[in-house]
Structure 1
Amino acid sequence: MNSSRFDYLIVGAGSAGCVVANRLSADPKVTVCLIEAGGDDKSPWVKIPAGIFGLYGNKKYDYTFQGVPQKHLNNRVITVNRGKGLGGSSSINSMVYIRGNKNDYDGWAALGCEGWSYQDVLPIFKDLECNLAGQSPEYHGFKGELNVVNPQDINELARTFVKAGAAAGLPENHDFNAESQFGLGIYNVTQDEGVRVSSYSAFVEPVQQRPNLTVLTHTEVFKLQIEADRVTGLEIEHAGVRSVLQCKREVILSAGAIASPRILLASGIGHRDELQALGLECKQDLPGVGENLQDHIDSMVTVRSPKPVSIGISWATLLPHILPAPFKYYLQRKGWWTTNYVEAGGFAKTSYAQAAPTGRAEADPDVQFHFTPIFRSYRGRKLEMGHGYSLFTCVLRPQSKGTVKLANDGTFKNVLIDHNFFSDEQDQKLLIEAVKKAREVLASSEFDAVRGEEMAPTPAIQTDEQILAYLRQTASTVYHPVGTCKMGIDELAVVNPWDLKVKGMQNLRVMDASIMPNLISGNTSAPSMMIGEKGARMILAEGQGS
């Protein structure tokens, strides 16, 4: 690091932060520093799609936050997996490219977030995208940095799953990011010839030689230095040594829905009474910091198979698949190493989604499927021997909301993450119906040739009460936390929709999934990149980038 003074300090090299760093550093007259608490992305675990099996729970790449006991889920503690390293969660996720439902963004606009409607954000998604899947230019872009492709070598069970949708009234959908999400299909992924494309590899790595761009790794931001309504610098820690980075223009928090509110709270921006109870001086009284946590709660149906068609470890797959996998991958970009494990999925409507809202032709899907051609453990193990397939189903627009709070341990570095899952009874009812819908799909005759015993929930679990008990014991997160620094115009809003500045602050913005007022209907990586792009445009439009 040649200087400790920069025009722009960006905290977090994840889905949004890397886009912001690219756009701001395009102006050679400004200096930009991108700060990441984790390390680099050079590991083959990151580059090879199937490597995600070794990333979740690996503390080198995953924060593995532990939530507080969930009182509506039998007091279970749920691990909150978040990416730690260049690319953030886009370096450890399943690479599924989903933008969400167009009505999600129109819903944001209806809440007072003017400029965030679907028609406002669609051009931004298109500008970021390099679509190589042959999809419609009405909905897709072809000149952006983010590769969007079809999976490299699709497992035949993924195609079986798509065909099985017909029995449940779910048509094949070739593009979940076009006119409608409804139906089943093969997911688009962010890859380049079988190699993961993260936000870092797409937006920062190609421009990392810019002399005005500094990327710091293994550097944790402790808190902001604040004078009146301006941020003057960041207190950081690297290799156990504390120092200060000085800010000449702006600080942008892109640390995600867990870390961005943590940094604000540690800096004295939050609910005055709660800060004072922790012994912190309140610099800005914003009760919404750390509130409004939303995430997709998820269930699983898993079935054993007597045939070695799925991805799995057995004598039958040793010679044709397991041993040749590295050679197939490096020589042909084929084989099991190319899988992201959730090659197929889709969107369905439960009985609660039958009535269309006023002004709409039909109701939106209310559950999402992630199909894996793997026998996922019904006992909580990371790996099960043998073969089978699993269908994960989540509530797309949960009503339950939680919090991210500072732990009262004197460090101001640790957080209490409370998803508060199932606090709203509607989420319970909807996920029960989602399990039934998943079973309906898996009951299709398309699976007859590979069908074995249902290991979870098991055939013995049939009534709503039994399914709910199963969900309380097993339901988890799909790793899509949002909303803890939400934009808006109400009393719990943290940032302004028109500039993403923290309310009451002159030069502090938040640009990541934490600003979402409501969770979008789908995976959150691509929407986070959109937020980074839109936020960077806001800065440039103010004339501060020149």
Structure 2
Amino acid sequence: MNKRYDYVIVGGGSAGSALANRLSADESTSVLVLEAGRADFIADPLIHMPAALMFPAGNPLYDWAYETEPEPHMGGRRVKHARGKVLGGSSSINGMIFQRGNAGDFDKWATFEGMDHWDYAHCLPYFKRMETTTAGADAWRGGAGPLTLERGPASSPLFQAFFEATDQAGYARTDDVNGYRQEGFAPFDRNVSKGSRISASRAYLRPIRDRKNLDITTLATVTKLRWQGTRVTGVDFLRAGKRKHSVDAGEVILCGGAFNTPQLLQLSGVGDPQTLRAAGITPHVDLPGVGENLQDHLEVYLQHESLQPVSIAPWLKKWKAPYIGAEWLFLNRGVGASNHFEGGGFIRTNDDVAYPNLMFHFLPIAVRYDGTAAGGKHGYQVHIGPMNSDVRGHVRIKNDDPFTKPGIVFNYLSTERDRQEWVEVVRAARHILDQPAFAPFDGGELSPGLGVETDQEIIDWVAQDAETALHPSCTAKMGTDEMSVVDPSTMRVHGTQGLRVVDASVFPTITNGNIYAPVMMVAEKAADLIAGNTPLAAEHPPVYRAGEGMPLHPEGDPRNTAWDARDHLPSALRAMQTAPTKGDDQ
């Protein structure tokens, strides 16, 4: 390992992998990636087998295993948060569901001062640059990027019933939730190819490991930034928790994620002076926004028993594991070759939101993330939760020890709007699962059960049973206001030189879906900003925006001939619009 690099990337996760690829493409530029976890060995089935996704969570070989402080509005519960501690980061242990978010998310980013070039039109070409979608490239989708995406088949009897039920509930279908129209239901894209997980490391790092100007060091925990005035000149790190090292850098780029990045900034004296002094840290750069603005998606599982033996529950039996593993290893197929989150959709739960505030993940089994099945029965479930909650939390170090996990509080359920949306979310999901299409299968609701009916009962159940969807973000947000941390034009940390941040922490607000895709887009765009490349030109294909008279499908599609304005409204509003009103003839 050299003693000085042009770029030292702290974190070999999703963003770090993409940055390492793009920045090292210039042979005159030296790049070092420091990853606190271990390598993502190609022979490790717990990383590369899609169906094994439940096993790395909680395992210290793969997972930082964070948990919150007692959440004040959830009865003091501590909520566990799995974060990848391995090359590829959380993309090596996540659910492989690839969702960009809505165009409106990025147009909202662009409303913040200094963020005008982060609108959808400017982000779209970077989404396209990173992907190869096997469903086919078009004006909205890429076809030549390093990240291969396959569309889930979503063809089992339970998936067919789910899609039919959404039709019966009054919701539209869409061809591609990452394309022209997000709102509606469809099979989902997954970062899975030929039966294997395609993590950020596998897509971006593995093909370039032999570049002479790129070094990748694992088991390297960065403990502090090194300073010369307000310029960062390098980092100190421990190898395997023991051997002390230092390395000089022209630039240090933090890619640790929404927890690790603010922790390292605070340990290095960057943050709110009062928080720093309380932890025994001498303030170096006064940035009160570091660790604040924390956002996430909380979710619950609505589970039903299936009367027919059509779920994948039997495959959870331990004696079947060798067969699943062998079929996956030698034939790249079978139960092990899918993440089983093969379809779902997005809806609006009320007419006050401009674009979907609820995402459905449908799963043809009743099971929790830890692999616990609902009594071993056949079943099915939807994962649901508000997508654009106004709840805000924080990440704050407790002391000056880099191995002490920071205090994390999300403040779930702390606002009236959030609690009201939870009631809407649960009722909307029940409306779909109660449709006639499920009648041949429905053996009754397992969770939460018929005892949870009133608004308060729903909120109490969420407080007791909800889990994180594992989308922490926004703790070092881009912007120019007094609580922003990162300059959106350069990715530099305000008030510093030689220090940048590129990961989910720079989001100003969370996107309405799984965050892996927007993290990778941010990394792709940031690579051009950092390298001084000419940014990709904005692209302006039409996108569906409810209530603006947009057709259900792209212009020119013959399916638009049957378009009706009522199809643009949530089902509850359509029912109100078509129901007889007082004074009508009945």
Question: Scaled by the length of structure 2, what TM-score is found?
Answer: 0.87
Amino acid in the other structure paired with 2:179 = A
Query: What percentage of residue pairs aligned between the two structures are identical?
Result: 37
- 1:339 Cα deviation after fit: 2.0
2:124 to 119, 122, 131: 122
> Would the alpha carbon gap of residues 541 and 246 (structure 1) be closer, same or farther in structure 2, given more than 3 Å must change?
same
Q: Secondary structure at the match of 2:483?
A: coil
Equivalent residue number for residue 51 of structure 1: 52
2: CA distance between counterparts of 1:40 and 1:475? 32
Equivalent residue number for residue 465 of structure 1: 456
Q: Check whether the contact 1:222–1:413 (CA below 8 A) recurs between aligned residues.
A: no
Equivalent residue number for residue 256 of structure 1: 257
Equivalent residue number for residue 27 of structure 1: 26
2: CA distance between counterparts of 1:240 and 1:406? 19
1: CA distance between counterparts of 2:62 and 2:318? 29
1: CA distance between counterparts of 2:403 and 2:97? 34
> Would the alpha carbon gap of residues 62 and 322 (structure 1) be closer, same or farther in structure 2, given more than 3 Å must change?
closer
Q: Check whether the contact 1:152–1:334 (CA below 8 A) recurs between aligned residues.
A: no
Equivalent residue number for residue 292 of structure 2: 291
Q: Check whether the contact 1:8–1:247 (CA below 8 A) recurs between aligned residues.
A: no
Amino acid in the other structure paired with 1:9 = V
1:444 to 421, 425, 435: 435
Does 1:91 find its partner at 2:92? yes
Q: Which runs of no fewer than 5 residues in structure 2 stay unpaired? A: 535-586
Q: Secondary structure at the match of 2:33?
A: strand
Post-superposition Cα deviations, 1:24-47, rounded to whole Å, max 9, x if no partner, equal 111111211011111111211111
Amino acid in the other structure paired with 1:133 = A
Equivalent residue number for residue 511 of structure 2: 520
Q: Check whether the contact 2:187–2:344 (CA below 8 A) recurs between aligned residues.
A: yes
Equivalent residue number for residue 77 of structure 2: 76
Q: Within 5 A, what are the aligned runs for 1:21-420? A: 21-42=20-41, 43-112=44-113, 113-134=115-136, 136-151=137-152, 154-313=155-314, 324-351=323-350, 354-355=351-352, 363-376=354-367, 381=372, 384-408=375-399, 410=401, 413-420=404-411
Q: Check whether the contact 2:173–2:186 (CA below 8 A) recurs between aligned residues.
A: yes
Q: Secondary structure at the match of 1:181?
A: coil
- 1:347 Cα deviation after fit: 0.6
Q: Check whether the contact 1:266–1:413 (CA below 8 A) recurs between aligned residues.
A: no
- 1:396 Cα deviation after fit: 0.6
2: CA distance between counterparts of 1:411 and 1:289? 16
1: CA distance between counterparts of 2:338 and 2:203? 20
- 1:355 Cα deviation after fit: 3.6
Aligned residue pairs total: 531
1: CA distance between counterparts of 2:145 and 2:185? 27
2: CA distance between counterparts of 1:130 and 1:300? 31
2: CA distance between counterparts of 1:313 and 1:527? 35
- 1:155 Cα deviation after fit: 3.7
Post-superposition Cα deviations, 1:124-145, rounded to whole Å, max 9, x if no partner, equal 11011111113x5110111110
2: CA distance between counterparts of 1:272 and 1:111? 25
Post-superposition Cα deviations, 1:86-129, rounded to whole Å, max 9, x if no partner, equal 10000111111111010111111101212100000000110111
2: CA distance between counterparts of 1:96 and 1:532? 18
- 1:409 Cα deviation after fit: 7.0
> Would the alpha carbon gap of residues 451 and 284 (structure 1) be closer, same or farther in structure 2, given more than 3 Å must change?
same
- 1:209 Cα deviation after fit: 0.4
Q: Check whether the contact 1:152–1:338 (CA below 8 A) recurs between aligned residues.
A: no
> Would the alpha carbon gap of residues 4 and 159 (structure 1) be closer, same or farther in structure 2, given more than 3 Å must change?
farther
Amino acid in the other structure paired with 1:46 = I
2: CA distance between counterparts of 1:379 and 1:256? 23
> Would the alpha carbon gap of residues 236 and 155 (structure 1) be closer, same or farther in structure 2, given more than 3 Å must change?
farther
1: CA distance between counterparts of 2:491 and 2:231? 15
2: CA distance between counterparts of 1:5 and 1:188? 40
- 1:333 Cα deviation after fit: 3.1
> Would the alpha carbon gap of residues 380 and 335 (structure 1) be closer, same or farther in structure 2, given more than 3 Å must change?
closer
> Would the alpha carbon gap of residues 201 and 233 (structure 1) be closer, same or farther in structure 2, given more than 3 Å must change?
same
Q: Check whether the contact 2:305–2:379 (CA below 8 A) recurs between aligned residues.
A: yes
- 1:234 Cα deviation after fit: 0.8
- 1:221 Cα deviation after fit: 0.8
Post-superposition Cα deviations, 1:481-512, rounded to whole Å, max 9, x if no partner, equal 11000000111000011011000111100000
CA RMSD across the alignment = 2.1
- 1:247 Cα deviation after fit: 2.6
Q: Which runs of no fewer than 5 residues in structure 1 stay unpaired? A: 357-362
Equivalent residue number for residue 360 of structure 1: none
2: CA distance between counterparts of 1:382 and 1:33? 43
Q: Check whether the contact 1:106–1:116 (CA below 8 A) recurs between aligned residues.
A: yes
1: CA distance between counterparts of 2:269 and 2:400? 16
Q: Secondary structure at the match of 2:360?
A: strand
Q: Check whether the contact 1:223–1:267 (CA below 8 A) recurs between aligned residues.
A: yes
Q: Secondary structure at the match of 1:103?
A: helix
- 1:542 Cα deviation after fit: 6.8
Q: Check whether the contact 1:400–1:420 (CA below 8 A) recurs between aligned residues.
A: yes
2:500 to 509, 524, 529: 509
Equivalent residue number for residue 446 of structure 2: 455
2: CA distance between counterparts of 1:117 and 1:77? 36
